[in-house]
Amino acid sequence: MLLIGNGRLITRDNDAPFFENGAVVCDGKLIVETGELTAMREKYPDADFLDAHGGLIMPGLINAHNHIYSAMSRGISINGYNPKGFLDILDGMWWTLDRHLDLEATRYSAAATYIDCIKNGCTTVFDHHASFGEIPGSLFAISEESVKYGIRSCLCYETSDRDGEEKCVQAIRENVDFIDHCRKLRSEAGQNPADSKEAAQADLLAGMFGMHAQFTLSDKTLEKCMSEAPENCGFHIHVAEGIEDLHDSLLKHHKRIVDRLHDFGITGPHTILGHCIYINEHEMDLIRDTDTMVVHNPESNMGNAVGCPPTLRIMSKGILTGLGTDGYTNDMFESMKVANVLHKHNLCDPTVAWGEVPQMLFENNALMGARFFETPIGKLKAGYSADVITLDYAPLTPMDASNVNGHILFGISGRYVTSTVCAGRILMKDRNIPGLDEEAFYAHCREVSRRVWDSVNGR
């Protein structure tokens, strides 16, 4: 057993939301109890102790939309890249990069991302992958790194017509194979002990069917996707990230984007629509009526200058809306800060978004997780997955259950995370990742990145 304690405990459980000096008790991959530190130590005297050193203890964070493939873009320079708008950014930067990712580069992008997730306290990632340089096996390579580093992942490959039919067929196959693999893991896990390797993998991995965006998917391709997609797998797709996507749908298909996706059967309770900047009331109603999910990526939208989505309106409709980073960062606190100021700035109203932004990150992302993973996540509560982080934070003003989100918003960033536990496994202890030679890892990662950059620039 593992007892994580000696800090202010934020549980996200409404029945007992805050302990001034609390502890979480974990048995295997599950939380068995939370409470005051003294009481928990008396009750579980033999449990191993992970010390929060008087800081904060809270549930591991969840990123609802990420792009592992973007990891090696940091500091890149691409010859001739001079974007005039969103489509130029996609084609000139992201599609150019992913065309040069082979399996080794994908694997290192995944490992680097997961290490960064651990350091920022993010224990669950929904990823939307592209590596048109080498598609077959890419989701499997990522999933191996996910299991190796102990992070929970829901993976998919972004199917697109943008690199021709052969690559599109490979992308569809990769989605189907990986979804089947995850389902097989689940069924096998049921026949193995709860602490077996199979059960651990099944608990950490899920798959869904990825699609890039409607403007790079013909009717023929969407028909093929729908005919091959396993039942109830759910789809993960960018929607109306730029106005160009809406114009394309109207011009080519004479309907709005969500209508087009809905007509193909893509909407539904397991489907995630990223961005949704240019959707109207009718499309929001369709999303709500089909119980489809939306993910907001504030930093990415601002960085690409594509506009601000009507996130607060979307949430007021009752649509399950999560918070992601779109590859910009693995620090969910950063995404939370940017979402907070974006909507105030956009609506010229400093009173908005106080409730919605923490709701997205701390409640809705967990509800999204519950649609893909069997063990519930996002709360420090008996029966939930033992996903726990500790942070080095001493409040300079009074702190209690009523104002934890204010402290988090203004007082914390990912770098404050000291220890990270996912499914009961200690992934980082006092900023040290056991078994990882960081210096050697990053040195090799830089070599792989250099090779990718050289390839991108034709060297």
Tell me which residues touch Zn ion (CB under 5 A): 274, 326
User: What tokens does 454 get?
Assistant: 């050289």
Q: How many residues does the chain have?
A: 459
- Residue least distant from Zn ion (Cβ): 326
CA distances from 297 to 27, 65, 127, 141, 154 (A): 35, 8, 13, 26, 17
Q: Decide whether 32 or 295 has the Cβ nearer to Zn ion.
A: 295
Q: Decide whether 249 or 325 has the Cβ nearer to Zn ion.
A: 325
Least Å from the CB of residue 127 to Zn ion: 10
- Do 1 and 46 contact (CB within 8 A), yes or no? yes
- Do 122 and 157 contact (CB within 8 A), yes or no? no
Element (H, E) at 154: strand 152-155
Least Å from the CB of residue 263 to Zn ion: 23
Least Å from the CB of residue 297 to Zn ion: 7
Least Å from the CB of residue 84 to Zn ion: 20
Q: Decide whether 95 or 441 has the Cβ nearer to Zn ion.
A: 95
d(CA 99, CA 71): 14
Q: Decide whether 368 or 422 has the Cβ nearer to Zn ion.
A: 368
SS3 380: coil
Least Å from the CB of residue 128 to Zn ion: 5
d(CA 309, CA 275): 7
Q: Please tell me what DSSP assigns to residue 115.
A: H
Least Å from the CB of residue 325 to Zn ion: 9
Q: Decide whether 274 or 298 has the Cβ nearer to Zn ion.
A: 274
Least Å from the CB of residue 333 to Zn ion: 20
Q: Decide whether 47 or 156 has the Cβ nearer to Zn ion.
A: 156
Q: Decide whether 222 or 239 has the Cβ nearer to Zn ion.
A: 239
CB atoms within 10 A of CB 458: 6
Residues with Cβ within 8 Å of 274's Cβ and at least 6 positions away in sequence, in order, are: 65, 128, 236, 237, 238, 239, 241, 294, 295, 297, 324, 326
- Sign, CA torsion 364/366/372/375: negative
CA distances from 417 to 99, 118, 390, 420 (A): 34, 9, 6, 7
Residue 292 C-alpha from the chain's centroid:
17
User: What tokens does 86 get?
Assistant: 């969103």
Least Å from the CB of residue 66 to Zn ion: 8
Q: Decide whether 326 or 387 has the Cβ nearer to Zn ion.
A: 326
Q: Decide whether 236 or 379 has the Cβ nearer to Zn ion.
A: 236
Least Å from the CB of residue 323 to Zn ion: 13
